[in-house]
Structure 1
Amino acid sequence: MTEPQDPRGSLVRPYAVTRGRTEPIREIPIEAVLVANAAAVQEARFAGHDKYRIAVLCEPKAQSLAELAALTRLPLGVARVLVADMVAGGLLALHSAAPRQSYTERMDLLGRVLSGLRKL
């Protein structure tokens, strides 16, 4: 079974999806868990095609920012801007498992995760 094609095709550039913004309203870690409820999915219908797809993916089960970018086939930066907008608008609930960390600490954590995955 093939996935339905986006009627917009490949003509829509990433900056058009985010209305030219490259920085999110708030910083969202790549591993942050996002959840939407049924009411948020209904409200997202009016927020745009991409935001609606993100809400639909987050409603049945929690998704990370990285998973959302992969599932929607959006660049990570674009997904981060859209998700930050949705969190600010109350369409998604953000659950970050990790406390605030510095860049170095986060990179160390990601390095340990990568090392663990390689050992599998």
Structure 2
Amino acid sequence: MAPDAREESSGPRLVRPYALTSGRTESVVDLPIEATLEVQPSGRSANWPEGHMSGRIIELCATSQSVAEVSAKLHIPLGVARVLLGDLITAGHLKTRATISEDTTTDERRELIERTLSGLRAL
């Protein structure tokens, strides 16, 4: 079997996490795991290359997701998710929502905790 044929039949290629972040390990934005994300108009109108991680994140965040949920649903390490999300926030494609404030009700706090635990379990 030719070397090229063996490479094609070996299955999907895996991308190392550091390749997704260009070797960066820290986000430029402080993102707690429970922070929820909202897509901005620039994120909806951007033309992402097929299968590009940023495009996948924007699609996922069309419905409100937490940092932990993005990490779990895209099967990427939490640190990688934070770096990529920070890039999208800095570029104006995503926005974080306040998670807990003085006006947050007990039910809202409970829902946030349940969603965070669900995201962590999925990791």
Shared fold (TM-score, shorter chain, > 0.5): yes
Could you list the runs of 4 or more consecutive aligned residues of structure 1 that deviate by over 4 angstroms after TM superposition? none
Alignment-derived partner of residue 9 in structure 1 = 13
Structure 1 runs not aligned, ≥5 long: 1-6, 100-112
TM-score between both structures, scaled by the size of structure 2: 0.66
Alpha-carbon contact 1:44-1:55 (below 8 Å) kept: no
Structure 1 position 97 matched with structure 2 position 114: no
Tell me, in whole angstroms, the C-alpha distance in 1 between the residues paired with 2:42 and 2:21.
23
Mapping of 1:67-78 within 5 angstroms? 67-78=69-80
Tell me, in whole angstroms, the C-alpha distance in 2 between the residues paired with 1:29 and 1:87.
14
1:37 CA displacement: 4.2
Go from structure 1 to structure 2 and tell me whether the alpha carbon gap of 1:20 and 1:44 turns closer, same or farther (over 3 Å shift). Answer: farther
Alignment-derived partner of residue 43 in structure 2 = 40
Give the CA RMSD over aligned residues: 2.5
Tell me, in whole angstroms, the C-alpha distance in 2 between the residues paired with 1:54 and 1:93.
13
Go from structure 1 to structure 2 and tell me whether the alpha carbon gap of 1:8 and 1:39 turns closer, same or farther (over 3 Å shift). Answer: farther
Tell me, in whole angstroms, the C-alpha distance in 1 between the residues paired with 2:69 and 2:55.
16
Q: Give aligned pairs, total.
A: 94
Aligned residues with identical type, % of pairs = 41
Alpha-carbon contact 2:39-2:61 (below 8 Å) kept: yes
Alpha-carbon contact 2:40-2:92 (below 8 Å) kept: no
Q: Counterpart amino acid of 1:85?
A: D
Tell me, in whole angstroms, the C-alpha distance in 2 between the residues paired with 1:34 and 1:73.
17
| Higher Rg | 2
TM-score between both structures, scaled by the size of structure 1: 0.68
Go from structure 1 to structure 2 and tell me whether the alpha carbon gap of 1:15 and 1:8 turns closer, same or farther (over 3 Å shift). Answer: farther
